[in-house]
Amino acid sequence: MSDTYNVQIIRTHEEFSYIAKQWDHKLSQYDEKALHLTSDYISAIWLADNGALDPYIIIIYKDDDIVAFTALDKSRYDYRFMSIKAALPLDYLRYGRSDAVVFDEKAAPLLYDIVKNIGVDIWHLDRFSSQSPFLKYCEDNLSRSEYYPYEDYELAVLNTQMSWEEYLASKSKNFRRTYKRMQESSSSLHAQLYADSNINAEKIIRDICDVNEQSWRNIAGSNFSKDPKRLKFIKNIIQAAAQKEMLVASILYDGDKAVAFTLGIISNGTLYALETGYISEYTEKSAGILSYAILMKHAFDVPMIKACDMDSIRANGGYKKRWATAINQQKGAMILFGGIGSFWIRLGRHISEIKRKIV
């Protein structure tokens, strides 16, 4: 008797809200229980983008059980001066981490076919876990002309199933000396950890926006408080996490003035550092790194937190790797379905390979 699979494609947030609990329950059984796949995170994106997204929430069922799912935005991908029809991570323009969750190996080719038939030339698999079953399916079954791995990423993670004292003892003498100097240099600042049931989400939003207005992010043009969609996303995810008592924020103050922050969200036993920032004039006081350290120390103090994802949204700086206990591997790749977009990427890849050989 052959297996029977059913497919559900969700295009509206209202429809997605109906299956959110089932979605999160199934995600909790997946090895890579990433924050960016939770219904709260997806909803925060969806409600922030005001119609700019063309979302495809694809779910495959075997009987009544979910055996595969993913969240995509049908959009355009710019590659070498050409705009290509693409299936992108729902959060591609913001942070980009993604996955296609597969529990049944027979569902992987079905998921591939479904995405191929929504009218795109490529599927951008950005920052997938190297352990992703769907990624393994692509590597094992797609030809070189169909599958283009283009980049490997390193993600710093922290195992918090020990005491903070044991963790510090495991680090080098130079690391501990640097940490002590960092605490001494910022002794004039007051640290506040927001992590209880009475957390004031609105105050946290105001404080982190105030910091961003005077931070290096503002100088670099990446201040989220000046990007209406991104700011709305931040507000949405903070409020959703606060309601479930999963929000953690470490904020440093100079008197009443917020000068540095790190924002974290607890999801499926992991504390994710979602955003961090500091006012540039407090660089010598190590305010930014100290706010990060306070958040990480909290992860050791809470039994339900088993690990800290030290940067769930951006490439890791060297200091994050120095604090980490492990480095997880992530991969970026493209599935090339066909059309002019796939041809253009294949051509660009071929030209790059020729240039490398010449050099």
Q: Is there a contact between 234 and 264 (Cβ–Cβ < 8 Å)?
A: no
Backbone angles phi, psi at 91, to 5 degrees: -110, 25
Model confidence pLDDT, tens digit, residues 211-267: 988 876 666 556 777 778 888 988 999 999 999 899 999 999 999 999 999 999 999
For residue 167, tell me if it sits in a domain. Answer: yes
For residue 315, tell me if it sits in a domain. Answer: no
Q: Which of 335, 347, 350 is nearest to 113 (CA)?
A: 335
Residues 141 and 11 in one domain: yes
Residues 224 and 250 in one domain: yes
Model confidence pLDDT, tens digit, residues 259-314: 999 999 999 899 998 888 899 889 888 888 899 899 999 999 999 999 998 765 55
For residue 215, tell me if it sits in a domain. Answer: yes
For residue 223, tell me if it sits in a domain. Answer: yes
Residues 283 and 260 in one domain: yes
Residues 127 and 226 in one domain: no
Q: Total structural domains in the chain?
A: 2
- State the distance between the two ends of the chain, measured CA to CA, in whole angstroms: 57
- Separation between Cα atoms, residue 216 and residue 277, nearest integer Å: 8
Within the chain, residue ranges assigned H as helices are 13-18, 20-27, 39-48, 107-116, 133-141, 164-170, 173-185, 201-213, 216-220, 228-243, 287-301, 318-323, 339-358
Residues 289 and 228 in one domain: yes
Residues 38 and 65 in one domain: yes
Residues 62 and 122 in one domain: yes
Q: Which of 321, 340, 13 is nearest to 158 (CA)?
A: 321
Residues 301 and 346 in one domain: no
Model confidence pLDDT, tens digit, residues 47-97: 988 778 899 999 999 988 999 999 999 999 888 788 999 999 887 555 667
- Separation between Cα atoms, residue 275 and residue 208, nearest integer Å: 9
Which pLDDT belongs to residue 300?
94
Distance set, CA 303 to CA 112, 146, 357 (Å): 39, 45, 53
Q: Which two tokens stand for residue 58?
A: 């694809």
> DSSP for 140-160?
HHS-TTTEEEEEEEEEEEEE-
For residue 192, tell me if it sits in a domain. Answer: yes
Q: Which two tokens stand for residue 88?
A: 């992108």
Q: Which two tokens stand for residue 228?
A: 């209406």
- Separation between Cα atoms, residue 285 and residue 217, nearest integer Å: 18
For residue 319, tell me if it sits in a domain. Answer: no
For residue 316, tell me if it sits in a domain. Answer: no
Give the number of C-alpha atoms closer than 13 A to the C-alpha of residue 173, restricted to the C-beta side: 0
> Domain range for residue 143?
5-151+330-358
Give the number of C-alpha atoms closer than 13 A to the C-alpha of residue 314, restricted to the C-beta side: 10
CA 69 to chain centre: 17
Q: What is the CATH number of the domain that holds 281?
A: 3.40.630.30
Model confidence pLDDT, tens digit, residues 96-152: 677 899 999 999 999 999 999 999 999 999 888 888 999 999 999 999 899 998 888
Residues 199 and 295 in one domain: yes
For residue 156, tell me if it sits in a domain. Answer: no
Residues 256 and 343 in one domain: no
Model confidence pLDDT, tens digit, residues 157-205: 899 999 999 999 999 999 999 999 988 988 899 999 998 777 889 999 9
Confidence band for 1, pLDDT divided at 50, 70 and 90? very low
Residues 166 and 54 in one domain: no
Residues 31 and 139 in one domain: yes
- Separation between Cα atoms, residue 280 and residue 29, nearest integer Å: 42
Confidence band for 319, pLDDT divided at 50, 70 and 90? confident
